[in-house]
């Protein structure tokens, strides 16, 4: 049974950074097979994990809808979609990546969307870890009708709005049909004196405050230059080691 870690929080708090470092940690600890899912429509997990260009499920859906009329005889939308989905999983050394891309849009292509949901859920059992970079509304988690989440990490930084987002993520989890077994708060580069506020937030919501990811110039520079966080040895990576040890990863 795969163990699922989902990371959520306000944009810019460091979710994608955290997911990349967790995937890198699990690979380094030989905890594979691992599936990383980029469920944020503003996808950039692939870049931080060292991929040049990744095709998204959203792009594939658009392609199917646009090119339907030119399909070879006997090829259905579903069979095209299914073939495409298998190709869309990027394989790297130690982990796989699935990038969701743009969401379902206003039109209802219900059976294509159901196919996508089923595909992403059917994948899960073949992995030991599934790590998901989420959008703030947790829509991707909500769509995974039969998969529970073992660990939800909500990231907060010095932006006060990220605290409101953490509260609303916590509220959303209460309306999900999926079970979330453990909820953690993780801060990113928070000022020392503000940790008390986070502790209060933890008590108020029932989430557990695990640790702070330290500010990391090497990481910041690497991301700025479009580089990958794989194999990076730096203060933030050390923070991930203590985070994962605390949560039992």
**Quick one: which H or E segment has residue 60?**
helix 57-67
| From 120, 173, 187, 188, residue interacting with ligand ADP (rule: CB under 6 A) | 188
CB closer to ligand ADP out of 112 and 213:
213
Distance CA 54, CA 71 (A): 23
Position 157 contacts Mg ion (CB under 5 A): no
Q: Which residues share a beta bridge with 151?
A: 5, 182
Q: In angstroms, give the least distance from the CB of 64 to Mg ion.
A: 26
Q: Are strands 95-99 and 90-92 parallel, antiparallel or unpaired?
A: antiparallel
CB closer to ligand ADP out of 15 and 144:
15
Distance CA 9, CA 186 (A): 10
Position 13 contacts Mg ion (CB under 5 A): no
CB closer to ligand ADP out of 81 and 236:
236
Given a contact cutoff of 8 angstroms between Cβ atoms, the answer to whether 190 and 157 are in contact is yes
Position 216 contacts ligand ADP (CB under 6 A): yes
Position 14 contacts ligand ADP (CB under 6 A): yes
Distance CA 18, CA 173 (A): 20
Distance CA 145, CA 84 (A): 22
Of 7-15, 99-107, 144-152, 175-183, the segment contacting ligand ADP by CB under 6 A is: 7-15
Binding site for ligand ADP (CB under 6 A): 9, 11-17, 188-189, 213, 215-216, 219-220, 223, 236
């Amino acid at each position: 049974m795969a163990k699922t870690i989902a990371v959520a929080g306000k944009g810019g708090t460091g979710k994608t950074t955290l997911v990349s470092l967790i995937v890198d940690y699990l690979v380094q600890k030989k905890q594979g097979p691992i599936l990383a899912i980029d469920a944020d429509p503003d996808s950039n997990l692939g870049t931080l994990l060292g991929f040049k260009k990744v095709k998204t499920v959203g792009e594939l859906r658009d392609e199917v809808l646009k090119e339907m009329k030119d399909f070879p005889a006997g090829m259905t939308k579903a069979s095209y979609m299914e073939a495409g989905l298998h190709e869309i999983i990027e394989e790297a050394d130690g982990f796989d990546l699935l990038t969701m891309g743009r969401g379902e849009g206003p039109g209802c292509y219900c059976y294509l969307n159901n196919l996508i949901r089923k595909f992403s859920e059917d994948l899960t059992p073949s992995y030991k870890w599934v790590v998901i970079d989420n959008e703030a509304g947790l829509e991707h988690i909500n769509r995974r009708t039969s998969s529970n989440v073992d660990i939800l990490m909500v990231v907060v930084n010095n932006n006060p709005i990220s605290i409101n987002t953490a509260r609303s993520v916590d509220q959303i989890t209460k309306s999900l049909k999926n079970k979330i077994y453990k909820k953690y708060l993780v801060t990113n580069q928070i000022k020392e004196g503000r940790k008390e506020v986070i502790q209060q937030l933890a008590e108020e919501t029932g989430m557990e405050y695990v640790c702070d990811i330290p500010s990391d110039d090497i990481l910041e520079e690497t991301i700025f230059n479009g580089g990958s966080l794989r194999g990076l040895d730096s203060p933030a990576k050390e923070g991930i080691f203590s985070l994962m040890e605390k949560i039992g990863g």
